[in-house]
């Protein structure tokens, strides 16, 4: 009987305990958080900072990626995508890029920064690189990529056909 009374008491008190989890509408922000944060697209961070905020969490600071986390290497490899049909579009349409919080102009700047010979792309850059524009990025990022693994695999096959050594850190590596 005692267990039944305790059980009923718990059932009756539970809604009150849950009600306390609802935020108080008069609650004030913690000190230092009084102002609304500026969205990344409006914050005017430098391109390297945008890389840190949008890419480095997965691709790491130096672009090495992580096979364990299914994140390909960009360092000394990403420029090869510009050498195959569909590769240029792929780089914009990768979900981490196309769905980032960056504006079209910021995303174009980030891609152009990554694709410098003295940047992540290194020696993988093609001889004649046409920088991305904000308009091109805006057009390309509107088209969703429905199958990332197959799209990427097709591009890797095209690279192999051209004799490009695959060093993407994803187990596809060839000399």
Domain boundaries, the chain: 44-175
Taking domain 44-175, whether its CATH number is 1.10.150.120 is answered by: no
* pTM assigned to the model: 0.78
Is residue 77 within 8 Å of 123, Cβ to Cβ? Answer: no
Tell me what pLDDT residue 14 has: 59
Half-sphere exposure of 158 (CA within 13 A, CB side): 14
Q: How confident is the model at residue 21 (pLDDT cuts 50, 70, 90)?
A: low
Q: How confident is the model at residue 108 (pLDDT cuts 50, 70, 90)?
A: very high
Q: pLDDT tens across 46-63, in order?
A: 999 999 998 988 899 998
Cα dihedral 154/160/164/168 (nearest 10): 60
Element (H, E) at 155: helix 148-161
Look-up of token digits 């920064």 = 113
The three-state secondary structure class of 138 is helix
Query: Per-residue pLDDT for 33 more than 90?
Result: no
Tell me what pLDDT residue 6 has: 72
Distance (Å, whole) CA 175 – CA 71: 20
């Amino acid at each position: 009987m005692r267990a039944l009374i305790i059980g009923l008491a718990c059932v009756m008190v539970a809604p009150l305990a849950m009600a306390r989890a609802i935020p108080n509408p008069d609650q004030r922000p913690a000190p230092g958080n009084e102002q609304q944060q500026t969205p990344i697209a409006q914050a005017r961070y430098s391109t390297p900072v945008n890389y840190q905020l949008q890419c480095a969490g997965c691709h790491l600071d130096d672009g090495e990626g992580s096979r364990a986390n299914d994140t390909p290497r960009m360092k000394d490899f990403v420029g090869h995508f510009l050498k195959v049909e569909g590769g240029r579009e792929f780089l914009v349409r990768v979900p981490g890029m196309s769905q980032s919080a960056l504006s079209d102009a910021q995303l174009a700047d980030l891609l152009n920064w990554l694709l410098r010979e003295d940047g992540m792309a290194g020696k993988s850059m093609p001889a004649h690189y046409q920088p991305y524009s904000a308009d091109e990025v805006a057009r390309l990022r509107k088209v969703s990529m429905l199958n990332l693994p197959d799209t990427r695999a097709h591009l890797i096959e095209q690279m192999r056909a051209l004799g490009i050594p695959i060093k993407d850190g994803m187990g596809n590596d060839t000399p």
